[in-house]
Amino acid sequence: MNDGALLDAVAAEAGWMEELLVSLVEAPTTLGNEEPGQRVMEEALADCGLKVRSVPLDADALRSAEGASPFSWDVSGKRNVVADWPAGGGGGRSLILNGHIDVVPPAAEELWARPPFAAAREGDWLYGRGAGDMKAGLAAMAGAVRALSRAGYAPLAPVQLQSVVEEECTGHGALQCLLDGARADACVITEPHPDHLTTAQVGVLWFHVDIAGVPAHAARASRLGVGAVEAACAVLAALRRLERRLNEDPPPPFDALEHPINLNPGVISGGDWPSTVAATCTLSCRIGLYPGQSPDEMRALVEGAVAEAASEDPRLAQRPPRVRYDGFACEGAVVDGEEPVVRALAAAYERVRGERPGLEATTATTDARHFVRAGIPAVCFGPRAENIHGIDERVSLRSVVETAQVLGLFIRDWCGLVRGPGKEER
Ligand SMILES: [Zn+2]
């Protein structure tokens, strides 16, 4: 299949991809609510002519797996949707295409111009929570495979498409696919990373600091009470000092970024009455870590910062805050720029876009780390999105088609394609 025919075949799937993306956005697949989205993917992948199956999450297997994160919630009944595109010949290189179905909550629904799960289209933009991160990527990878399979081709080595859960909190969907035996010569994750390939990423640690106060009537607060909410501010200040130290001398490739390690106090909850001095406060945070640094090392740094706050502040010293872990505890990952998958994907990109993509490091984590840990080079590349995790998230529909075209060329070059009875084409 030559470049022109392939690009045309993929472009012809634009309407199908947009329809799939709309159905996916209209399924509000926040944590615990992923199943309606997985049903949409199951149907779409079957419609691509693929064999679709479920990979259920197994809490015990996950808890004892290398690379797992602690989690307190129930995962029973959750599943990944996996589609196998079997090899129609021999000799090619195998591939995993991966995307996550889960989305983060809308942040503040009242700030959105339209309801976050309404999938509104305006010009080239499709709006909605998860439109960019990363349902457009799921639509693009399915569209690429659909185009090739409908044109009568099969890969020379197996291709597996994975629609996974829990990327936004632990990565346990992707990890479960690997526990299920998924292996390939390379993995491409169609996260919304346009105009470049992402070959390095930080790790992430979630931690929760429980701070105890002494409740009292607000009228006698100065004599009797110790406010947990205000004490939490001292803990946060110590954590910010840790963050500053971590950004002082970043190792490459993160030295190219202005502020690679970000501490985010994402949730704070405490107290129960305006006229009562707050008895408790919990500060839930996310912090990044460099590749090579283990989650345990970061735990020690976080606990050190919290202990430092406690030693300096009499409100905390008497009842030292407790640090708990629930959610992300993952290492960073780096893939060498000379890896064959990076070169092949970059070459496919260049033929569609007319220029070579840069190789970049991201200050976020993705499921790529699980594949890298398993010895499978994994790269992120995908559609152009704006405001992911923010308000009025949107994705460019043209970029969805372009992503699928790059993937189509890449699949042809990486896996090799065969058409009809044994007529091999590269
Ligand atoms: Zn994502």
In the structure, ligand 1 is a single-atom ion and the residues with CB under 5 Å from it are 133-134, 191
Q: At 57, phi and psi to the nearest 5?
A: -75, 135
Same domain, 264 and 322: yes
Q: Of 263, 294, 326, which residue sits at a domain end?
A: 326
Please tell me the distance between residue 232's alpha carbon and the centre of ligand 1 in angstroms: 30
pLDDT of residue 221: 79
pLDDT digits (tens, 9 = 90+) for 83-107: 999 999 889 999 999 999 999 999 9
pLDDT of residue 420: 65
Please tell me the distance between residue 143's alpha carbon and the centre of ligand 1 in angstroms: 19
Same domain, 257 and 297: yes
Please tell me the distance between residue 173's alpha carbon and the centre of ligand 1 in angstroms: 13
Same domain, 282 and 320: yes
Please tell me the distance between residue 355's alpha carbon and the centre of ligand 1 in angstroms: 25
For 159, counting Cβ atoms within 10 Å of its Cβ (0-12 exposed, 13-18 middle, 19+ buried), the class is buried
Please tell me the distance between residue 366's alpha carbon and the centre of ligand 1 in angstroms: 7
Per the structure block, which two tokens stand in for 286?
């996310």
Please tell me the distance between residue 199's alpha carbon and the centre of ligand 1 in angstroms: 15
Same domain, 181 and 150: yes
Range of the domain at 166: 3-201+332-425
What is the distance between the alpha carbons of residues 252 and 245, in angstroms, rounded to a whole number?
16
Going by pLDDT thresholds of 50, 70 and 90, the confidence category of residue 239 is very high
pLDDT digits (tens, 9 = 90+) for 282-302: 999 999 999 999 999 999 999
Please tell me the distance between residue 74's alpha carbon and the centre of ligand 1 in angstroms: 22
Please tell me the distance between residue 239's alpha carbon and the centre of ligand 1 in angstroms: 26
DSSP classification of residue 131? I
Residues in Cβ contact with 223 at an 8 Å cutoff, skipping those fewer than 6 apart: 216
Task: Quote the number of domains for the chain.
Answer: 2
Same domain, 273 and 404: no
Q: What average pLDDT does this structure show over 37-59?
A: 97
Please tell me the distance between residue 263's alpha carbon and the centre of ligand 1 in angstroms: 18
